[in-house]
């Protein structure tokens, strides 16, 4: 390796000019990061973000419409085997009412997220999508409902869905198998992402930072995969343990590493949409502001009915009562203004 620790900023500059690094360079940069290097990266990342998106922060209204899930991901609080989870699914009318509230307070993107719930057949989802799009034709509709067949993705796209969020979680096959049951594979997850892209969705992928067994090499592989996929959005957040999962005693991912990865993503894909996630806001009260200052440009307040929010508990202490909610838009705006950014209500399509 031609770099020594004192030359780390050179690697950051190389990333800025060539928009990519080799696997060894990614590993080196991630494993040898220092607070000074992080500050330097954040300033480069902000420059890129300002060039393409100015000081605007896009908002997405998140509707967590079902917490039933057929899967048993080892990290997730709504996994099938968590018999303590109080299960709910919103009706079509509930969901439309969330959209109405969101629209009235200025949201122009709705994100329908849920566990993989067999109740929501293609027909039910397509009908819902059509109703939302006919009532709010100026809004973008994002789905995040996990792995489905290519035909299903196509049908939902034809019904009017614009975007799809499906984190690849971790690119590495062995690491993937340590976080998921044998029924789920890294290859199948990635194939879904390629299918979604081919169909024409604006696609979001991503991963958890600091998930159990994760190494710098895994993160390097994630960066290489994301570069190749070239998605419109990348959602990353710290892994946070949940007391009713096999990873209950695992340490959560670090704020510092999550911010570092956000800045690397902004430099690798300057025009990508990058949310400062709820998980980031959960591990640190100023997590989302720090995420914006590291290059993120999206926040996703919760539009779900207040009484079910506590049941969409993916990890312990997930923010669900306060300022992450859509009702508190004004306080979110103030928080963003306090760091020199402003929330805007545009649809906010990706420039990538
Ligand atoms: N079922 C859909 C899917 O698989 O994409 C969407 C819902 S899933 C719960 C949404 C995301 O939550 C996952 O992609 C995962 O990265 C994140 N997540 C789940 N458990 C988590 C945890 N313990 N800590 C941080 N993020 C978590």
pLDDT digits (tens, 9 = 90+) for 275-287: 999 999 999 999 9
pLDDT at 7: 81
What is residue 321's predicted lDDT score, i.e. its pLDDT? 55
* pLDDT computed for residue 351 by the predictor: 94
Nearest protein CA to atom 8 of ligand 1, as residue: 115
Q: Burial level of 75, CB count in 10 A (0-12/13-18/19+)? A: buried
Contacts of 47 (CB under 8 A, 6+ apart): none
Q: DSSP 3-state assignment of 36? A: helix
Task: Kindly indicate the confidence band of residue 331, based on its pLDDT and cuts at 50, 70 and 90.
Answer: confident
What torsion do the CA atoms of 62, 312, 296, 248 make, to the nearest 10 degrees? -170
CA of 221 to the centre of ligand 1 (A): 20
Average pLDDT over residues 309-327: 75
Q: How far is the CA of 40 from the centre of ligand 1 (A)?
A: 30
Q: Of ligand 1's atoms, which has the minimum distance to the CA of residue 167?
A: 14
- How far, in Å, CA of 66 to CA of 128, rounded? 14
Q: Is the pLDDT of residue 258 over 70?
A: yes
DSSP 264-288: HHHHHSTT-B-B--HHHHHH-TTHH
- Say which residues have a Cβ less than 8 Å from residue 7's Cβ, sequence separation at least 6: none
pLDDT in tens, 184-216: 999 999 999 999 999 999 999 999 999 999 999
> Which is the closest atom of ligand 1 to the Cα of 240?
24
Nearest CA to ligand 1 atom 25: 239
Q: Mutation test of ligand 1: which of 68, 69, 75 has the most ligand atoms closer than 8 Å to its C-beta?
A: 75
CA angle 280, 36, 220 (to 5 degrees): 60
Does the pLDDT at position 144 exceed 80?
A: yes
In the predicted model, is pLDDT for residue 239 greater than 80? yes
Q: What is the DSSP string of 39-96?
A: HHHHHHHHHHHHHHHTTEEEE-EEEEEE---S---TT-TT-TT-TTS---B--HHHHH
Ligand 1 pocket by Cβ (under 6 Å): 75-76, 113, 115-116, 144-146, 166-167, 169, 208, 237, 239-240, 242, 279, 314-315
Q: Ligand 1: distance of its center to the CA of 132 in Å? A: 24
pLDDT of the residue at 328: 75
Residue 91 has a CB neighbour count (10 Å cut-off) of: 10
pLDDT tier at 4, thresholds 50, 70, 90: confident
Beta-carbon neighbour count of residue 142 at 10 Å?
A: 24
d(CA 8, CA 25): 10
228 confidence band (pLDDT: 50, 70, 90): very high
> Listing from the earlier edge strand, what are the strands of the sheet with 56-59?
298-299, 56-59, 342-344
Mark residue 317 as left, alpha or beta (left: phi above 0; alpha: psi -120 to 50; beta: remaining). Answer: left
Q: Which of 22-31, 157-166, 324-333, 343-352 has the lowest mean pLDDT?
A: 324-333
Q: What is the mean pLDDT of the chain?
A: 95
CA dist 343 and 127 (Å) reads 31
Distance from residue 76's CA to the centre of ligand 1 (Å): 6
CA distances from 245 to 72, 114, 223, 279 (A): 9, 18, 28, 17
Give 126 or 3, the one with higher predicted confidence.
126
Paired with 322 in beta bridges are none
Helices (runs of H) and strands (runs of E) counted in the chain: 14, 9
User: How far is the C-alpha of 158 from the C-alpha of 94, rounded, in Å?
Assistant: 23
Q: Give residue 4 CA to ligand 1 midpoint distance, Å.
A: 37
Ligand 1 centroid–CA 206 distance in Å is 10
Of 130-134, 254-258, 291-295, 301-305, which range is least confident? 301-305
Is residue 324 predicted with pLDDT exceeding 80? no
Helix (H) or strand (E) holding 204: strand 202-209
Q: How much distance in Å is there from the Cα of 314 to the middle of ligand 1?
A: 7
């Amino acid at each position: 390796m031609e770099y020594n620790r004192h030359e780390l900023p050179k690697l950051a500059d190389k990333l800025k000019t060539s928009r990519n690094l080799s696997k060894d360079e990614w590993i080196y940069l991630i494993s040898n990061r220092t607070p000074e290097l992080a500050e330097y990266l954040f300033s480069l990342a902000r420059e890129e973000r300002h060039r393409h998106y100015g000081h605007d922060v896009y908002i997405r209204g998140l509707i967590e419409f079902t917490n039933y899930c057929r899967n048993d991901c080892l990290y997730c609080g709504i996994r099938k085997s968590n018999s303590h989870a109080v299960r709910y699914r919103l009706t079509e009318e509930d969901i439309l009412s969330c959209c109405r509230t969101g629209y009235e307070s200025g949201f122009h993107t709705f994100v329908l997220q849920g566990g993989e719930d067999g109740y929501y057949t293609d027909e039910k989802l397509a009908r819902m999508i059509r109703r939302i799009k006919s009532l709010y034709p100026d809004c973008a509709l994002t789905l995040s409902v996990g792995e489905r067949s290519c035909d299903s993705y196509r049908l939902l796209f034809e019904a009017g869905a614009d975007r799809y969020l499906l984190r690849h979680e971790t690119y590495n096959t062995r690491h993937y198998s340590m976080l998921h049951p044998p029924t789920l594979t890294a290859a199948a997850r990635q194939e879904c992402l390629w299918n979604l892209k081919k169909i024409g969705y604006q696609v979001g992928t991503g991963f958890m930072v600091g998930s159990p067994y994760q190494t710098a090499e895994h993160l390097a592989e994630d960066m290489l995969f994301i570069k190749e996929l070239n998605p419109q959005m990348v959602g990353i957040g710290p892994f946070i343990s949940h007391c009713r999962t096999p990873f209950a005693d695992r340490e959560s991912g670090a704020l510092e590493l999550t911010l570092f990865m956000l800045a690397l993503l902004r430099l690798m894909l300057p025009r990508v949409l990058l949310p400062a996630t709820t998980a980031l806001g959960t591990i640190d009260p100023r997590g989302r502001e720090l995420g914006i200052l590291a290059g993120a440009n999206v926040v996703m307040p919760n539009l779900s009915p207040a009484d079910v929010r506590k049941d969409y508990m993916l990890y312990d202490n997930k923010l669900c009562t306060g300022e992450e909610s859509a009702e508190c838009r004004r306080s979110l705006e103030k928080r963003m203004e306090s760091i020199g950014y402003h929330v805007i209500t545009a649809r906010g399509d990706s420039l990538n």
